[in-house]
Structure 1
Amino acid sequence: MLAFTRRLLPLTRSIRAYSTPPPSLLDGEQTIYQKLTEKFAPSQLQVQDVSGGCGSFYAIVIASDAFKGLSTLKQHKLVTQTLKSDIEGIHGLQIKTIVS
């Protein structure tokens, strides 16, 4: 029997709510951060380009009251719909949603 483990995004940056993206974010990270902040008013948000800076794979951790009462699938659909135009050209997206 094969055992599968789930690799979670390491929290290399502190997770905080900002009105503007933290200055340490790359351009693609800033764009995603701003859109998610405007749509969900998250209590926690982390956006990280995990492709080595080329913008082909992003990992997102987001906590918001907007996810209350929704299944994980519906929460992820809300995030991907918000980022639809931004994620069309990327290879992958890892999303972790948290109800705050």
Structure 2
Amino acid sequence: MFSTAIRRVTPSLRQQLRPRIATAAAAHTQAAASAAGAATVASAPSKLDEGEQAIYDKLSERFQPSELLVQDVSGGCGTFYAITIASKAFKGIPVVKQHRLVNEVLKKEIEGIHGLQVKTVPL
């Protein structure tokens, strides 16, 4: 009975997530290209809300990333952010320390939010 309910929900859920999956796939492809040696610097997206822009600016200034994606995934209320950042600053540093570097830069912002998802990519 439980698996039947899941099968009924899955197609509609898949349809709802399709735009996000496509966006994530495009970001992943771009990050892979950057990691493969493209020496590009991330350009600021045009549609960031105030919280996303503050995070974007701080991370850009500190890490000069080739890829930076900051997304408010809390439905626009600014309580949970997902960040993907690719930078030479992470090269040779363990993942835990990479995340600590990001958290240190965003210390003030983290105080006012409930959650933060960080994905770092060393170049």
Fold agreement, TM-score > 0.5: yes
* Distance change in 2, residues 1:10/1:58 (3 Å): farther
The alignment covers a number of residue pairs equal to 90
Check if 1:50 corresponds to 2:61: no
Check if 1:64 corresponds to 2:87: yes
Q: Which runs of 5+ in 2 are unaligned?
A: 1-19, 28-40
CA radius of gyration, larger in? 2
Give 1:12's match in structure 2, choosing from 10, 14, 23: 23
* Distance change in 2, residues 1:10/1:85 (3 Å): farther
Higher helix share: 2
TM-score (norm 1): 0.83
Give 1:39's match in structure 2, choosing from 35, 55, 62: 62
How much is the aligned-residue C-alpha RMSD, in angstroms? Answer: 1.8
Give 2:46's match in structure 1, choosing from 17, 23, 44: 23
* Distance change in 2, residues 1:65/1:45 (3 Å): same
Higher strand share: 1
Displacement of 1:70 in angstroms is 0.5
Worse overlay, 40-49 or 22-31: 22-31
- 1:34-72 deviation digits (Å, cap 9, x = unpaired): 000000000000000000000000000000000011000
Q: Which runs of 4+ in 1 moved over 2 A?
A: 9-16
Q: Determine what percentage of the aligned residue pairs are the same residue.
A: 59
2:119 — aligned with what?
96
Q: Which runs of 5+ in 1 are unaligned?
A: 1-8
Displacement of 1:10 in angstroms is 4.4
CA distance in 1: counterparts of 2:72 and 2:53, whole angstroms: 10
